[in-house]
């Protein structure tokens, strides 16, 4: 009798230990989600690419480009480099690749020129820099960074932006540099349909700093002086430490109207939405009344990414300190 009482007490005690250890695990998981040491997310534009339109060679070219960009960024972060350096270098690589609508691959305006937009933001101190309508800087993201770091202003436009760029250590090129075969052809096609394609990157570095950047040629056949969301802090780009970093791509007019990038911050900060929930809300709910098309990439302060789009494709890549990597084009 005594023995069986002692045995059942031991069983009860064991059961209690098992149950309480299970509870502890659950609570730990909820209050302490996985924190990556560093992470990086990239987009190369959202649009209507299909496997048929791109072809296997095209798919391979885009995937290789995204892969190189991802590894340039991850290597910088792994070595303890800053999120700003990672974002700038990733975007420079994509700007130098004619596949993308940024830098050398930029689409043309209705007047057959290039007018480039770019922005960059540091989530540490909310410092930001942007340029719009610039025509002679090889890498607009570098100009945006120079505005952020070497001026008291946030944005320069047109000739003023070029004048500023000339005072910085930036590579200046002739307009001819941007006139690729692809940009000419896409201008011809543009009368039928607007094309998308922009590049963006968000990084979380080892110091917990979030940084975001976006660079674009805008929309094919855009009117002279037209400004999209990409160079607008709060519309196309935003970063705030402890919350998220964001870069958008799509029909900029609507991203400006809903302040898309900052809307992610608001939804996460004030409504406690996760990064995925916030990205879905912006892309599938808030853009819906306008029938606006595009995508968004976001990274939260744990290094978790959201990559949402309402088009058929978005060139995208993600990697983190655990060695997890994603490179995708279609759904
Ligand atoms: N958002 C860019 C703009 O409106 C275009 C794009 O991302 O494709 O200029």
Domain ranges of the chain: 1-32, 36-330
Q: Which of 162, 198, 214, 249 is catalytic?
A: 198
For residue 128, the 8-state DSSP code is E
> Which tokens belong to 222?
């855009």
137 HSE (CA, 13 A, CB side)? 36
CA angle in degrees (0–180, nearest 5) for 300-272-24: 85
Closest residue (by CA) to atom 8 of ligand 1?
196
Ligand 1 pocket residue status of 44, Cβ below 6 Å = no
Architecture per CATH, domain 36-330, reads as 4-Layer Sandwich (3.60)
Cα–Cα distance, 130 to 14 (Å, whole number): 62
Q: Can 220 be counted among the known catalytic residues?
A: no
- Is the CB of 245 within 6 Å of ligand 1? no
**What is the value of pTM for the model shown?**
0.88
Q: Please list the pLDDT of the chain residue by residue as tens digits (331 residues).
A: 444 545 555 544 444 444 444 444 344 445 568 999 999 999 999 999 899 988 899 899 999 999 999 999 999 999 999 999 999 999 999 999 989 999 999 988 898 889 999 999 999 999 999 999 999 999 999 999 999 999 999 999 999 999 999 999 999 999 889 887 765 665 555 434 445 689 999 999 999 999 999 999 999 889 989 999 999 999 999 999 999 999 999 999 999 999 999 999 999 999 999 999 999 999 999 999 999 999 999 999 999 999 999 999 999 999 999 999 999 999 8
CA pair distance 64, 221, nearest whole angstrom: 28
With vertex at residue 263, the alpha carbon angle to CA 327 and CA 66, rounded to the nearest 5 degrees, is 15
pLDDT at 195: 54
Task: State residue 32 phi and psi, 5-degree precision.
Answer: -135, 75
Q: How many Å apart are CA 62 and CA 50, to the nearest integer?
A: 13
Tell me the C-alpha to C-alpha distance, in Å, between residue 93 and each of 87, 142, 218. Answer: 10, 11, 18
| 197 touches ligand 1 (CB under 6 Å) | yes
pLDDT of 40 reads 98
Atom of ligand 1 nearest to the CA of 226: 9
SS3 helix, strand, coil % of the chain, rounded to 5?
A: 45, 25, 35
Predicted local confidence at residue 27, as pLDDT: 41
The string of DSSP letters for 171-237 reads: -B--GGGG--HHHHHHHHHHTT------EEEEEE-TTS-EEEEEEE--STTPPTT---STTSBTTTE
Closest CA to 209 of 279, 299, 143, 119: 299
pLDDT at position 103: 95
Residue 263, pLDDT score: 98
> Is the CB of residue 45 below 6 angstroms from any atom belonging to ligand 1?
yes
Query: What is the Å distance from ligand 1's center to 23 Cα?
Result: 47
Structure-derived torsion over alpha carbons of residues 300, 301, 303, 308, reported in degrees to the nearest 10: 0
Spatial strand order in the sheet of 244-250: 237-240, 244-250, 294-300, 305-309
* C-alpha span between 220 and 107 (Å, rounded): 5
Give the largest Cα separation in the chain, rounded. 97
């Amino acid at each position: 009798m005594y023995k069986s009482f002692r045995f059942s007490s031991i069983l009860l005690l064991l059961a209690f230990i098992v149950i309480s250890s299970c509870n502890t695990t659950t609570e730990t998981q909820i209050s302490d989600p996985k924190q990556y040491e560093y992470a990086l997310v990239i987009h190369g534009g959202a649009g209507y690419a299909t496997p048929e339109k791109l072809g296997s060679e095209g798919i391979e070219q885009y995937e290789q480009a995204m892969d190189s960009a991802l590894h340039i960024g991850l290597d910088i972060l792994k070595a303890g480099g800053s999120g700003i350096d990672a974002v700038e270098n990733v975007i420079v690589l994509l700007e130098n690749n004619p596949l993308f609508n940024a830098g050398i691959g930029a689409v043309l305006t209705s007047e057959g020129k290039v007018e480039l937009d770019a922005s960059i933001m540091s989530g540490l101190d909310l410092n930001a820099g942007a340029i719009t309508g610039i025509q002679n800087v090889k890498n607009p993201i570098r100009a945006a960074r120079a505005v952020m770091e070497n001026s008291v202003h946030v944005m320069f436009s047109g000739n003023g932006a070029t004048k500023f760029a000339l005072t910085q250590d930036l590579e200046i090129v002739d307009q001819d540099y941007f006139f690729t075969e692809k940009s000419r052809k896409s201008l011809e096609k543009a009368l039928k349909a607007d094309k998308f394609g922009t590049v963006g990157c968000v990084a979380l570095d080892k110091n917990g700093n979030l940084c975001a950047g976006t660079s674009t040629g805008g929309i094919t056949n855009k009117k002279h002086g037209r400004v999209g969301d990409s160079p607008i802090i709060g519309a196309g780009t935003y970063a705030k430490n402890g919350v998220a970093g964001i870069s958008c791509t799509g029909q900029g007019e609507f991203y400006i109207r809903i302040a898309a990038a900052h809307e992610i911050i608001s939804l996460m900060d004030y409504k406690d939405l996760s990064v995925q929930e916030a990205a879905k809300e912006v892309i599938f709910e808030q853009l819906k009344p306008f029938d606006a098309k595009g995508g968004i990439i976001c990274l939260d302060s744990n290094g978790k990414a959201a990559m949402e789009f309402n088009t058929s494709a978005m060139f995208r890549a993600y990697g983190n300190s655990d060695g997890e990597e994603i490179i995708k084009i279609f759904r």
